Amino acid sequence: MPELPEVETVANGLHERVSGDTVVSVWLGEKPEPLKSPADEIAETLKGKKIEQVHRIGKTVVFELAGGAQFLVHLGMTGRLLVNDSDVPLPPHTHGVLHLKSGREIRFIDPRRFGRMSVTRGYTGPGKEPLKIGIDEFVELFKGRKTPIKSALLNQKLLHGVGNIYADESLHRAGIRPTRQAGRLKRVELERLHKAVKAVLQHAIKLGGSSVSDYVDADGMRGFFQLEHRVYLRTGEPCRTCKTPIKRLLLAGRGTHYCPLCQK
């Protein structure tokens, strides 16, 4: 599932290409799963509206429309948002098309149909923004929590946007084992984790995210951060820091990768 860096990359690409353009009409497919708001409401909200900004909140791409409405797209596991000229044939599994005044189209493609489209106002996301949260507020998030720190990092009501890849990578860089109880981590450990989360996410954004499955940006290009993964999906391979084989375990149903020597 695309996480914060992938969604940020998509949103930034869309902003560069379509901000200032106007939605002339909307086509929505017949499959009900991608629609979190009624089809008529989505079409009516978007039609004739200027796209003032495209940005990310958590794992959601947010189109800010003239007049204050917002068009939200969650990519799910296999969702893509692409900008194409109207004469480019629609690919299979296209569930939504925004026809723009410029003649281009914004297309939402999602083979597995776990992605969602909706319209709303005032959306701010379920949790805190990982790239902006200060250290004191970060420490407070985990105080008294008995869940493993990996599970706490994946809790979108705490930090929205961090998923499996970047939780594993951040914990490795911070030297913290994913099974440690969140509420028992010392402040100095949480300070390392706070720094690691921000550094990992920022570097991943710089490299266009991680393409380990279906993820591509608004131009259909893959990211490159997967080439720098230190633990994620590297079970049995040597740790890039100490050469100890990377281990994998299931934690709350999620594949979790860590170095048994570097992470305590």
Residues tagged active-site: 2-3, 59, 254
Structure tokens at 38: 């009624």
Which residues, in sequence order, are bridge partners of residue 61?
Answer: 56, 73
Structure tokens at 218: 């608004």
All residues at 6 or more sequence positions from 140 whose CB lies less than 8 Å from its CB, including other chains = none
All residues at 6 or more sequence positions from 136 whose CB lies less than 8 Å from its CB, including other chains = none
